[in-house]
Amino acid sequence: MTGRIESRLAELGITLPQATAPVANYVPSVRTGSQVFVSGQVSNGPDGFIKGKLGADMSIEEGAAAARACGLSLIAQLKAACDGDLDRLVRVVKLVGFVNSTADFTDQPKVINGASDLMVEVFGDAGRHARSAVSAASLPLGVAVEIEAIFEVK
Amino acid sequence: MTGRIESRLAELGITLPQATAPVANYVPSVRTGSQVFVSGQVSNGPDGFIKGKLGADMSIEEGAAAARACGLSLIAQLKAACDGDLDRLVRVVKLVGFVNSTADFTDQPKVINGASDLMVEVFGDAGRHARSAVSAASLPLGVAVEIEAIFEVK
Amino acid sequence: MTGRIESRLAELGITLPQATAPVANYVPSVRTGSQVFVSGQVSNGPDGFIKGKLGADMSIEEGAAAARACGLSLIAQLKAACDGDLDRLVRVVKLVGFVNSTADFTDQPKVINGASDLMVEVFGDAGRHARSAVSAASLPLGVAVEIEAIFEVK
């Protein structure tokens, strides 16, 4: 039987990316009690890493699309942490979004909305979360956005 | 009956700002178990957003005042999360402070002390928290400081 | 009787640094439930603070050594939070690593691996953690790396 959230993903036409494991001494996620901490996911799409610097060579819309890609990877990692059953999500607790930007860029919230909107599209009210959105001087591989998350699960 | 912390706020002459809700798909705070995660609060005072870049156009004292303003917003959001009863706070667990600064600024701790000092003024020993203080390349709306928090409540 | 992790530290030839307390209104760590939140530890070695900016005046190897120094301080703070008994660690839950770098540096993961590798050397599988690695525009005192951590303890 297809889960409620899986049906919602299908309805939205969303295919989750592969939940990839880092080739290093850290892991995609750790569960402690009812909380799942997911490692920072860099913007990565079907055509490879989404690179760029907001305020220089990337529009807010492109940045929001990069943040949405991070959000898809976060959900993919959550699914892996829940043994494939996204219906075990109780609540998206927190996102911290890092935007690769110039020193005078001021629209971090509009960029990270790409991930926040996705969470509510997919999970409804359970997708509403606490959030911080800031700029990083730079990000791994030159990606445009990196987002980490805390989820509450049952 | 006025709560213990409310009395302390009055004694200190502190009026909390309005706990504003973001106009987006995220929320000011999420409670999970006994933890309240409060979204990053940008420096905002009675005269509007406190903007500036440390190391360029703002002194450490002005930066600390901006951090204190973030702290007041954090307490206002905590109060809202506690249905108006700040006496339900068990402990300020953690602050992460992001300072909008130039690439050679090195006094992030002195800036974020503006918020840390406020927590101890208001909550006493329960206000002592773990903390990180770093610089962001830039912040939403050009504000000087953004701080997020985790509180333990009963 | 020497603990299991203390023996492992001796076997690795690792001497933990002094767990220093900040001279401010925040504390090195806060325990809430089974979680210990450790304040951001700046890179600090036997010869003093490890300063530098990746992408400008410091190699990736030097950055990784600075991250390892942060990791040693995190373990020292964890030990203090566990009343000296590191065997009470259940799991390293999460590291967030901030790298002091130029705007075009892209090897944050290789730098923060200095801390991630240390956690697994010392704690084995319990050392594998969720992680974010980003650049900060600058860091306190001009240090090269600052890392904060969440540990699960019993």
Distance CA C60, CA A81 (A): 32
**Quick one: average pLDDT of A33-49?**
96
Task: Answer yes or no: is B99 within a domain.
Answer: yes
> Using the beta-carbon criterion (under 8 Å), do B25 and A119 form an inter-chain contact?
yes
Q: How far is B142 from chain C (nearest CA, A)?
A: 15
Give yes or no for residue C12 having a pLDDT over 80: yes
Give chain A's length. Answer: 154
Nearest partner of B115 among B40, B48, B55, B26, judged by Cα: B40
What CATH number has the domain bearing residue A128?
Answer: 3.30.1330.40
**Alpha helix segments (H runs only) across B51-154:** 60-81, 108-123
Q: Answer yes or no: do B137 and A135 touch at CB < 8 A.
A: yes
Over residues A35-41, the mean pLDDT reads: 98
Q: Assess if residue A35 is contained within a domain.
A: yes
pLDDT digits (tens, 9 = 90+) for B6-62: 999 999 999 999 898 887 889 999 999 999 999 999 999 999 999 999 999 999 999
Q: What is the pLDDT of residue C24?
A: 85
Q: What is the largest CA-CA distance in chain A?
A: 50
Contact residues, chain B to chain A, C-beta under 8 Å = 22, 24-30, 32-33, 37-40, 53, 96, 98, 102-103, 135-142, 146, 148
Nearest residue of A to residue B38, measured between CA atoms: A130
Chain A: which residues have CB within 8 Å of chain C?
Answer: 22, 24-30, 32-33, 37-40, 53, 96, 98, 102-103, 135-142, 146, 148
The answer to whether position A21 is within a domain reads: no
Whether C22 is covered by a domain: the verdict is: no
Is position A23 within any domain?
A: no
The identity of residue A118, as a single letter, is L
| C85 beta partners | none
Across the interface, do A132 and B96 touch by the CB < 8 Å criterion? Answer: yes
Judge whether A34 lies within some domain: yes
pLDDT single digits (tens) C91-138: 999 999 999 999 999 999 999 999 999 999 999 999 999 999 999 999
C-alpha torsion sign, points C72, C76, C82, C86? positive
Specify the pLDDT at position B55: 98
Q: Does C108 sit within 8 Å of A138, measured CB to CB?
A: yes
Q: What is the pLDDT of residues A45-102, one digit of tens each?
A: 999 999 999 999 999 999 999 999 999 999 999 999 999 999 999 999 999 999 999 9
Supply the mean pLDDT for chain A.
96
pLDDT of residue C116: 98
The range of the structural domain enclosing residue B106 comes to 4-15+28-153
What are the tens digits of pLDDT across the range C81-97?
Answer: 999 999 999 999 999 99
| Per-residue pLDDT at C118 | 97
Q: With contact defined as beta carbons under 8 Å apart, do C122 and C3 qualify? A: no
Residue pair C86/C79 in contact (Cβ under 8 Å)? The answer is: yes
Q: How are the residues of chain C apportioned to helix, strand and coil, as percentages rounded to the nearest 5?
A: 35, 35, 30
With CB atoms and an 8 Å threshold, state whether C91 touches A30. yes
**Is C91 within a domain?**
yes
Mutate which of A134, A139, A150, A152 to test chain B, going by most B C-beta atoms within 10 A? A134
Give residue A20's pLDDT: 85
Q: What is the structure's pLDDT at A21? A: 83
The model carries a pTM of 0.97
Helix-, strand-, coil-residue percentages of chain A, each rounded to 5: 35, 35, 30
Q: Look at chain A and report how many structural domains it folds into.
A: 1
Q: How far apart are CA A110 and CA A87, in angstroms?
A: 28
- What pLDDT score was predicted for residue C135? 98
Contact B28, B21 (CB under 8 A): yes
Contacting chains of B (3 CB pairs or more, <8 Å) are A, C
Which tens digits make up the pLDDT trace of C13-43?
999 998 988 878 899 999 999 999 999 999 9
Q: Is residue B22 part of a domain?
A: no
